[in-house]
A and B are shown apart, each in its own frame.
Chain A
């Protein structure tokens, strides 16, 4: 019984991680808009960097998802990077990181 419970908990944890709820279409559009215009005010509208570092796929490939999500949600003390967790959920941030890794088109 305990084993079964553990197994299902594990299963849940695994699927939960894989199937992190993606934001809906309207929210996705808003997140990409924010990325371009608000993140873009320091990282460049095309994410090639500015006062803050570039956020292109090649520039972030050395960093883990966890690290990037933490940086976005909690900010970096001692630098101008502020914490965005007050308006970005874990799932939304994970989705943004996924988009950053894929490379964001500048057409939107």
Chain B
């Protein structure tokens, strides 16, 4: 009798653990987007292996991911408006909704309870309960004629249970405050510049910065003093007179923030700019291999890794921060789309789209540590993002 009971208990217990047969945490897990196949690979960074794949996630071109604060769930934002919630431990899609016709990324709230998605069509932001994916709030963007609404870009979370985003067609920044419940208080900043195409929040959550395609310069909102409005910074930033065509828009999310300096991709110039925070003045420009797309700081701030736009996208360069010199040029393969560091920075993961693989490098020796097969990989997102504002 006693033995039977023990057996039943053991069986029950084993049913609770994951398919690997043992309990595990999620702190070393990550998601690789396979943009064309509409699938993901879930990887781990301890032994650098691919654990499993999941299919049926729709159009994942330009897809991105945020994580629940416990690191268990991944929320995938697809281009086709699909929002999918993945249980990384149970290895399955828990819930999936088609929330718009055409979308471009999202964010998770400070308290982890809300998921916001920015949409191109119909233009606006939709906010969902992160547990059930039920719609909590619908924020249509400004009308721009013909019944159309402005596309929304650069959506991020900010302290105080806020979401901030930019309106591409109408040139606005909106701040949606959910601190008092599910009916947001929306503050609108108009005439912030022409064609804001992306936005970021600094890692401390203080500044929101939007890149402008239609003119030089950037728009800055100090979230500690929103009554001061949006300020124009870096007036020389942008394509200027010697402008080169831009074959892929630089991403702002990757902007490297090191001490009081920001390292950011120039637009239309083959340079990474060094900008002094607070004065927002350009203090240096580092010549690089091509139009930079992501310039990302290793978590310790010692190196900046840079990838490039088509057609120079087979190369990755490493800038040494103290000397502002390029100390390494790697050629991982055709179409390096994205890079992601492990939280303590000993590894970097690079997606090589046209060669169907993800490469893992040691950031100290620059030696390749592993190659993971993936179908047209684009974004790589590690669960450490769960605990960072703006990611």
Binding site for B on A (CB under 8 A): 36-38, 40-42, 44-46, 48-51, 75, 78-80, 82-83, 87
List the A side residues contacting B310 at CB < 8 Å.
38
With the chains together, A78 CA to B214 CA distance in Å? 6
Interface digits, B244-260 against A, CB 8 Å rule (1 contact, 0 not)? 01111100000000000
Q: In the complex, which residues 313-350 of chain B have their Cβ closer than 8 Å to any Cβ of chain A? A: 335
Tell me the bound Cα distance from A41 to B197 in angstroms.
13
The one of A38, A41, A45, A78 in contact with B36, judged by C-beta atoms closer than 8 angstroms, is A45
Is B280 among interface residues, defined by CB-CB distance under 8 A? Answer: no
B213 interface contact, C-beta 8 A: yes
Q: A41-B61, A80-B197 are in contact. Are A48 and B102 (CB under 8 A)?
A: yes
B249 proximity list for chain A (CB < 8 A) = 42, 51, 80
Interface residue B59 (Cβ < 8 Å from any Cβ of A): yes
Question: What sequence of 0s and 1s flags, for each residue 150-166 of chain B, a beta carbon within 8 Å of any chain A beta carbon?
Answer: 01010000000000000
Task: State whether the Cβ of B353 lies closer than 8 Å to any Cβ in chain A.
Answer: yes
Partner of A87, one of B197, B311, B354: B311
- Interchain CB contact (< 8 A) of A45 among B35, B120, B121, B335: B35
B214 to chain A, nearest CB (A): 7
Chain B 17-56 interface residues, beta-carbon cutoff 8 Å to A = 35-36
User: Contact at B247–A44, with CB atoms within 8 Å?
Assistant: no
Taking A37-B354, A41-B248 as known contacts, 14 extra A-B pairs with beta carbons closer than 8 A to each other, sorted by chain A number, are: A37-B35, A41-B62, A44-B61, A44-B79, A45-B61, A45-B79, A46-B80, A48-B80, A48-B101, A50-B120, A51-B197, A78-B214, A80-B246, A82-B245
| CA–CA, A42 and B248, complex, Å | 8
Interfacial chain B residues near A48, Cβ < 8 Å:
80, 101-102
Of A38, A41, A44, A75, chain B has the most CB atoms within 10 Å of the CB of: A41
Interface string of B70-84 (1 = CB under 8 A from A): 000000000110000
In the complex, the answer to whether B247 meets A82 with C-beta atoms within 8 Å is: yes
Question: Residues of A contacting B153 with CB < 8 Å?
Answer: 51
Q: What is the chain A residue whose CB lies nearest that of B151?
A: A51
Task: Count chain B residues whose beta carbon lies closer than 8 angstroms to a beta carbon of A.
Answer: 30
User: When A and B form their complex, what is the total count of cross-chain residue pairs whose Cβ atoms lie within 8 Å?
Assistant: 60
Contact indicator A50/B104 (Cβ below 8 Å): yes
Residue of B nearest to A87 (CB): B311
In the assembled complex, the Cα of A50 lies from the Cα of B121 at a distance in Å of: 9
Q: Which residues on the A side are within 8 Å of B248 (C-beta)?
A: 38, 41
Tell me, yes or no, whether B168 is within 8 Å of chain A by CB: yes
Residues of A within 8 A of B376 (CB): 37
Q: Which residues of B contact A44 (CB under 8 A)?
A: 59, 61, 79, 102
Q: Which residues of chain B are near A50, meaning CB under 8 Å?
A: 62, 79, 102, 104, 120
Interface centre among B120, B213, B247, B353, by most chain A C-beta atoms within 10 angstroms, is: B247
Q: List 21 A-B contacts (CB under 8 A).
A: A37-B35, A37-B61, A38-B247, A41-B62, A42-B249, A44-B102, A45-B36, A48-B80, A49-B102, A49-B121, A50-B62, A51-B104, A51-B249, A75-B245, A78-B214, A79-B195, A80-B213, A80-B246, A80-B249, A82-B246, A83-B245
B120-A51 in contact (CB<8A): yes
CB neighbours of B101 from chain A (8 A): 48
Contacts of B104 in A (CB 8 A): 50-51
**Cα(A37)–Cα(B37), bound, Å:** 12
- A51 adjacent to B168 (CB under 8 Å): yes
By a CB distance below 8 angstroms, the chain B residues around A82 are 245-247
* A41-B61, A44-B79 as given contacts; A49 in contact with B120, CB under 8 Å: yes
Chain A residues with CB under 8 Å of B62's CB are 41, 50
Q: Write the chain A residue with the least CB distance to B101.
A: A48
A77 to chain B, nearest CB (A): 10
Among candidates B61, B80, B195, B247, residue contacting A40 with C-beta atoms closer than 8 Å: B61
Instruction: A50 to B195: give the CA distance in the assembly, Å.
Output: 14
Instruction: Return B170 CB to nearest CB of chain A, in Å.
Output: 14
Instruction: Report, nearest first, the 10 A-B pairs whose CB atoms are least far apart.
Output: A45-B61, A82-B245, A80-B213, A82-B247, A38-B310, A83-B245, A40-B61, A82-B246, A46-B59, A45-B59
